[in-house]
Chain A
Amino acid sequence: MRSVRPALILIPVLLVLTAAACGKKKPPVARPAPPPPSVATTTAPSRPPAPPEPVAEPTIVPPEPVRDDAISAASLDDLNKNSPLKPAYFDLDSSDLTASAQRALDENAALLKRYASWSITVEGHCDERGTAEYNLALGERRAIAARAYLVSLGIPADRLRTVSYGKEFPFDPGHDEGAFAKNRRAHFVITAK
């Protein structure tokens, strides 16, 4: 009984495969040859039709290994080097989330929902136009603001640690507004996946 069932299933499968193989190839040799055009050949016996191609089982190609995407394949270091999580930028002296910061966080939240095992450190950073001491607290405010927004979008709070680095680790060492704008941010580091 046990061995019967696979056989029963195999038969239609083979039939289908065969039909597919025949239909696909449509070898011209299987077609009846056109009538000979000349008188000289009228007496000559017509060539017998070529036999159909033998039914061959298609060779099985092993499937591609399952790689869902580049993100989950990358190492933590590589991930953080080109982080899929976008920084949320802030205005001078402010820890309020701007519309563009919220858009960045919306995208981050979607990613964090997709990769539900990730743990994240939200780093708060400031530019050099604030003082070193107050910036430690301002950076914390920025990290907390970003974290709270992600939590409001359904990311579990226990996946999101915060730390403030004040102005100790500028991303851009320049001294112009372009650099300052890059340095006022909540920055996301993936710490576990």
Chain B
Amino acid sequence: MIKAILTVTLALALVAAGPRARQPPASQQPPPPTPQQPSEIEVPISGEAGAPPRLAVPDFIALTTDAETAAIARTIGQVLWDDLNFEREFAFIPRDTYASIPRATSFADVAFDRWRELNADGLIVGTVQKVGTTVKVEMRLFNVRTRQSAFARQYDGSAANPRLYAHTMSDEIHKSQRALNGVARSKLTFDSDRDGERMAGTVQNRSIKEIYICDYDGENQRRVTVGRTLNIAPRWSPDGRSIAYTSYRRGGANIFISNIFQGTLDEVTKGEKVGENWLPAWSPDGTRVAFSSTRDGNPEIYVANRDGSNLRRITNHPGIDITPTWSPSGTQIAFTSDRSGTPQIYVVGIDGLGLAKKTAESYCDRPTWSPAPYNEIAFASRSGPGFDIKVLDLATGASRALTFGEGTNESPAFSPNGRHLVFTSTRSGKAQVFTMARDGKDVRQITRTGNNEKPDWSR
């Protein structure tokens, strides 16, 4: 419960923070919604034998008559439907059939018979009430057969971002009903040249790139760096409060960390003779950063504390070693090396021992280790003129393709529950960020303006 409250606080802080880099500290954010949960027994709703439960999610009921409350009620119902649909744990009664059923005006007059006729196993009923400047949102998931509430939640908080109530409900429903960690409150980050700003001090016509974040579904896109230079390849810290990335603001490439809720900037690689430093990756506990550096004359993988101290070199080979990713346990690192002649994926222990080559394709890059329970590494693999996303099963050594030449597809990263990937694709023209399910289905375009690349998904 404490974790849930913390997560709600964090998510609200994200929502309430103003655009651009400098956000006020979290303590200045409006108070988070306080869940006050009715003490009902939470029982998972089941579907027909073996089939997923069939849910109906009508718009929430506006208990106050103003237009804002009506809009919030509509938004929550629709976003909740999208959020629940994203994990494909439930089947859904199509929304266009709901019109035939009398709309409930409270939890007391739900037409269960009619919902049962539509074959619904579960029905989500919610209410929204404006209380001063805040809103009170109640949600109940009913078992349509027994007419009992199987799961109920109540939230009070700001009316600024109704989507966040839906995201929170969705994650809690998935947790309670399906024992699944949903991703509705997770966030994406990527680099983009969408603002068309020019790099300072160059005569070439060069667009800078800055770091952006957005909700998992592409909403609330916002820029979080002001470097006026090349800021690329962002990676969320495990606590979702910082982003590590490669920045050229000192001339060469270096590792920076933006603490996006404090508006502060940390330099992991600074000082003389540190060479080029690229592509940071957070350790699972968030205390360390792995990256590639030429400080000893050749691109090698290093690990350092997040303040740059305790630097240790992991690889030692005259080939290129770059773009590290941590195993979920934090004991191994996968990376790209061209030591065999072409770029391929390798795995090595954090102590530098136990090096193993994992791919033998024409050209592989940007490995990303999946979270548990999946023991997989996603990567970009050259397939003809461009690249496709592939996933390597570390247990069997077999890899499967998730994209099939729809433009070129690069830079995959997993969602925190391992069930989705975010990646870059040129299938719609310029490079854009897309998400897809781990079977390659349900491809969704997240960005549309400028070039948007090298995404990552928050934990």
List A residues at the B interface (Cβ < 8 Å).
77, 80-81, 93, 128-134, 136-138, 140-141, 161, 163-165, 168-169, 171, 189
B276 touches A131 (CB 8 A): no
Give 18 A-B contacts (CB < 8 Å), ordered by A residue: A77-B203, A130-B365, A133-B411, A134-B336, A134-B338, A134-B366, A137-B320, A140-B294, A141-B320, A163-B251, A163-B253, A164-B253, A164-B276, A165-B230, A165-B248, A168-B209, A168-B230, A169-B230
- Judged by a CB distance under 8 angstroms, whether B373 is at the interface is no
Cα distance, A164 to B323, chains bound together (Å): 15
Question: Chain B interface (Cβ within 8 Å of chain A)?
Answer: 202-204, 206, 209, 230, 232-233, 246, 248, 251-253, 276, 278-279, 292, 294, 299, 320, 322-323, 336, 338, 342-343, 363, 365-366, 380, 385-387, 408, 410-411, 424, 453-454
CB <8 Å contact, B253 and A132: no
**CB-defined contacts of B251 to chain A, threshold 8 Å:** 161, 163
Residues on the B chain within 8 Å of A93, using CB:
342, 363
A131 adjacent to B320 (CB under 8 Å): no
Specify which chain B residues have a CB less than 8 angstroms from the CB of A136 in the assembled complex.
246, 253, 276, 278-279, 322
Would you call B230 and A133 a contact (CB within 8 A)? Answer: no
* B365 contact from A128, A131, A164, Cβ within 8 A: A131
Complex interface: chain A residues within 8 A of B209 (CB): 168
Are B292 and A137 neighbours in the complex by a CB distance under 8 Å? yes
Q: Which residue of B lies closest to A143 (CB)?
A: B276
Beyond A77-B203, A163-B276, A168-B230, whether A131 also contacts B411 by CB under 8 A is yes
In the complex formed, the residue of A with least CB distance to B230 is A168
Q: Is the interface of B mostly helix, strand, loop or mixed?
A: strand
Of B322, B363, B408, which contacts A137 at CB under 8 A?
B322
Q: Are A134 and B322 in contact (CB under 8 A)?
A: yes
Chain A residue at smallest Cβ distance from B385: A129
A133-B322 in contact given A140-B294, A164-B276 (Cβ < 8 Å): yes
Are the C-beta atoms of B323 and A171 separated by less than 8 Å? no
Those 8 A-B pairs whose CB atoms lie nearest each other, nearest first: A131-B365, A133-B323, A137-B320, A80-B203, A134-B365, A137-B299, A137-B322, A133-B366
Residues of A within 8 Å of B408, CB to CB, are 128
- Shortest Cβ distance from residue A5 to the other chain B in the assembled complex, whole angstroms: 55
Instruction: For B253, list chain A residues within 8 Å (CB).
Output: 136, 163-164
Bound complex: CA of A169 vs CA of B451, how far in Å?
A: 12
- Report whether B453 and A137 are in contact in the complex, using a CB–CB cutoff of 8 Å: no
Q: Quick check: A133 and B385 within 8 Å, CB to CB? A: no
Q: Name A's interface SS.
A: mixed
From known contacts A131-B411, A163-B276, infer whether A138 and B365 are also in contact, taking CB-CB under 8 Å: no
Most buried by B among A131, A132, A136, A169: A131
Bound complex: CA A139 to CA B408 (Å): 20
A90 to chain B, nearest CB (A): 15
Identity of the chain B residue whose Cβ is nearest the Cβ of A169 in the assembled complex: B206
A141 to B338, CA, bound (A): 12
Residues of A within 8 A of B292 (CB): 137
With A163-B253, A171-B204 known as contacts, the answer to whether A131 contacts B278 (CB < 8 A) is no
Is there contact, CB below 8 Å, between A134 and B323?
yes
State whether A134 and B343 are in contact (beta carbons under 8 Å apart), knowing that A163-B252, A168-B232 are contacts in the complex.
yes
Residue ID in chain B nearest A136 by CB atoms: B278
In the assembled complex, how far is the CB of residue B368 from the closest CB belonging to chain A, in whole angstroms? 11
Which residues of B have CB within 8 Å of A189?
Answer: 202-203
- Contact B204–A169 (Cβ < 8 Å): yes
**A72 to B202, alpha carbons, bound, how many Å?**
19
Of chain B, the residue at the smallest CB distance from A140 is: B276
Question: Smallest CB-CB separation from A81: which chain B residue?
Answer: B203
Q: A residues within 8 A CB of B202?
A: 189
- Among residues of B, the one whose C-beta sits closest to the C-beta of A77 is B203
Output the least CB separation between B195 and chain A (Å).
15
Cβ contact within 8 Å between A132 and B338: no
- CA A174 to CA B395, docked complex, whole Å: 41
Which of A77, A128, A133, A163 has the most B CB atoms < 10 Å from its CB? A133
Distance, CA A43 to CA B410, complexed state (A) = 113
- The residue in chain A whose Cβ has the minimal distance to the Cβ of B424 is A132
Query: How distant is the Cα of A189 from the Cα of B299 in the complex, in angstroms?
Result: 23
Residues of chain B contacted by A132 (CB below 8 angstroms): 232-233, 366, 410-411, 424, 453-454
Residue numbers in A under 8 Å from B278 (CB-CB): 133, 136-137
Q: Could you say which of B230, B276, B411 has the most chain A C-beta atoms within 10 Å of its C-beta?
A: B276
> How many angstroms between the C-alpha atoms of A165 and B253 in the bound complex?
9
Least CB distance from B340 to A in Å reads 13
A137 to chain B, nearest CB (A): 4
Q: How far is the CA of A138 from the CA of B276 in the complex (A)?
A: 12
Residues of A within 8 A of B279 (CB): 133, 136
- Cα separation A189 to B199 with both chains bound (whole Å): 14
| Shortest beta-carbon distance from A178 to chain B in Å | 15
- How far apart sit A77 and B202, CA to CA, in the bound complex (Å)? 8
- Asked if B410 contacts A131 (CB within 8 A), the reply is yes
CA distance A80 to B342 in the complex (A): 34
**Residue of B at shortest CB range from A141?**
B320
CA distance A50 to B386 in the complex (A): 93
Knowing that A130-B363, A134-B323, A137-B292 are A-B contacts, what are 10 other residue pairs whose CB atoms are under 8 Å apart, sorted by A's residue number? A128-B408, A133-B322, A133-B365, A133-B454, A136-B246, A136-B253, A136-B322, A138-B320, A163-B276, A165-B248
